[in-house]
Amino acid sequence: MSENFEIALQLLGVGMVTVFAILFLVVFIGDAIVLFVNRFIGEEKKEMPIVLEENSVIDPKKSAAIESAIQIVTQGKGKVVKIEKC
């Protein structure tokens, strides 16, 4: 029992130190990535080009037309997840 208590005390110390250390790292890494991206990658481009899924059977032009139609109906907030040919 007293041995177990020692383990528990150890864990209390080790555990809280580790958790604080890791979340310090999270902050540090996050900041570092932001700085790195700001310097070397810069402003976000207007969306990467979407690679059309292979084997897609719908003409991209037509699906774009459908999507825009849907977007009007849904006030621009909806998204066509899947279109199937009849």
Partner 1 sequence: MDVLQKLYEMTAFGSLIENPGSLLMLAIGAILLYLGIRKQYEPLLLVPIAFGVILANLPGGGMGVVPGEFIQLEGLKQAASPDMNLMELEMEHRYMNLFEIAHEYGIMNFLYYMLIKTGLLPPIIFMGVGALTDFGPMLRNLRLSFFGAAAQLGIFTVLLIAILVGFTPKEAASLAIIGGADGPTAIYTTIKLAPHLLGPIAIAAYSYMALVPVIIPLVVKLTCSPKELKINMKQMDKLYPPKHQIKNLRAVKIAFPIVLGIVISFFVPSAVPLLGMLLFGNLIKEIGANTLRLSEAASGPIMNTATIFLGLTVGATMTSDVFLDPKTIGIIVGGFFAFAISVFGGIAAVKVFNLFTKKKINPLIGATGLSAVPMASRVANEIALKYDSNNHVLQYCMSSNISGVIGSAVAAGVLISFLS
Q: Which residues bind a copy of itself (CB under 8 A)?
A: 58, 62-63, 65-66, 69-70, 73-86
Residue 51 lies near partner 1 (rule: CB under 8 A): yes
Q: Mark residue 18 as left, alpha or beta (left: phi above 0; alpha: psi -120 to 50; beta: remaining).
A: alpha
CA pair distance 17, 62, nearest whole angstrom: 58
Three-class secondary structure of residue 74 per DSSP? coil
Interface residue with partner 1, options 43, 61, 73, 75 (CB under 8 A): 43
Applying CB under 8 A, the residues found at the interface with partner 1 are 1, 4-5, 7-16, 18-27, 29-31, 33-38, 41-44, 48, 50-51, 53-55, 57, 81
